[in-house]
Structure 1
C-alpha cells in the first residue's frame, strides 16, 4: 500500500464510523453527509481517480451507481431514511461481488480473526 491508499483506508474507516453514528443519532444529517463525503473520497484514494471512474461506469455496476448517488441526493435533500436505504442497496449492488474478498481480508486482521470464525461457525450451525 502506498501512502495515498493508507490515508484512504483510514478515511474509509472514519466514514463508516460516522455513518453508523449518524444512524444511531436518529439520522443526524450532518454526520451522514460527512460520512458520505469521506467514504467517496476514500474509495477514490484507494482506487485512484481513473480506476474509480472505470469501476462505477461499468455496465453491470451502473444500477448500483445510480442507486447510491440517488441516496446521497436524498440525504442532501433532508430525506435521510430513504437516502440511507438507497445508499445501502446501491453499495451492495456496487460492492457485493467483493464480499468474499472482504471476508478473507478481515479474517487476516489480528482481532477480527478471533471473532469472525466464531460468528461464521455459529451461522453454519443454526438449524433452518
Structure 2
C-alpha cells in the first residue's frame, strides 16, 4: 500500500503558518524546482502575507484575509465598525496561561480562525 501512496503523490507543499506572517511553497514531483508563492490578495511580490482575518459582524464568514484584512482595520476603536480583524490567533496553540493569550471574540475559537485562515490560503 505504501508504494501506491508514493506513486500517487504529485505535488509536495510546505506551509509556513506564522504568528504574524504566513506563506507557502510547492514542488511537482516530476520537476523538483521549488515554487514559492508571491501572489496574495491585493499584494504581489511578497513571499508572505499577514496572518490576519477580517470577519463579518457575527464572526462567521471571512470577509478578507492577509494584507487586506489589516488594511481594512479601523484607525480608532469604533464599536459600530463592521470590520473585525483577528490577529495572533496562532498563539493559542502555545503552552501559555490563558490570560496571556490574545483576545478572541467569545463566539470565535482559535481552531475556527486557524481553519478559516488555512482555507483562505488554499483558495
Name which one, 1 or 2, has greater alpha-carbon Rg: 2
TM-score (normalizing by structure 1): 0.20
